Structure 1
């Protein structure tokens, strides 16, 4: 059984705890982190547009890329330590939601955490990337709450319905 846990800032401990609780001991576990292209791209663009070309050694986009890689490696190492089981660490770069879906191809289970409004039950408890992943995952999902699950009293009220005309 191949289990992938999507590791993100802020919600990764709940995903690791879910792996520990739900993945069989013999499972092939993959800890997946995806770095989006946004920050390095913005820094590269600002440098090229505002400061000109000709000095690539001073491009802040390269520094941002290195920082993102180091941060991802540190996050994956912390997750692996919490897991306390053999696992593979995978770092990908690109559109986050698409990279997670692509990495899940052929997996038996994808574990991810809610990353939106976590104070209420409902669709807003998923951010845009998580919503895309839930809608497009090519395998079964385990969607976990990073904190205590809100009570059913937090469900949004139903939309108002117009009276039925006969």
Structure 2
């Protein structure tokens, strides 16, 4: 069984715990982190457009890329330690939601956490990237709450009579 666990700042412990609890001991687990290209790209663009192109050594985008890489390495190292069994770590860079979907091409299961409004049950508990991944993943998805789920009293009200 090949399992991809999407590692994201703030929610990764719940994903790792779910993978440990819900997959066989011999599962091939991949801990996946994706660094978005948007922030370093914006820093590079701002520097080139506003500050000039004459001093590439002062480009803040390079520093942002370096910080993102170091952060990803720390997250993946912590996730691997928490997993407590053999696994592989993978760092990708790009459009986060598309990279996650691409990484699940040969997976038997994807584990991810809710990343939206976690105070209520319902569709808003998924942010745009997670919603895209859930809708497009080519494998089964285990969607976990990163903390205890809200009560049933947070369900949205039913539609009014006559409306679907």
> Could you tell me the TM-score, scaled by structure 1's length?
0.96
Deviations 1:80-124 (A, max 9, x none): 011111110000011100000000001000000000010110000
Deviations 1:62-92 (A, max 9, x none): 0100100000000000000111111100000
- Report the alpha carbon displacement of residue 162 of structure 1 after superposing the two structures with TM: 4.5
Partners of 1:8 and 1:99 in 2: how far apart?
13
Matched residue count: 163
Aligned pairs (5 A) from 1:12-91:
12-91=12-91
- Report the alpha carbon displacement of residue 42 of structure 1 after superposing the two structures with TM: 0.9
Matched position secondary structure for 2:29: strand
Partners of 1:81 and 1:30 in 2: how far apart?
13
Partners of 1:17 and 1:146 in 2: how far apart?
10
Aligned-CA RMSD value = 1.0
Partners of 2:134 and 2:42 in 1: how far apart?
28
Deviations 1:37-64 (A, max 9, x none): 1110111011001110121111100010
Partners of 1:23 and 1:128 in 2: how far apart?
27
Specify every segment of 5 or more residues in structure 1 that has no aligned partner in the other structure, as ranges.
none
**Greater C-alpha Rg:** 1
Partners of 1:138 and 1:116 in 2: how far apart?
22
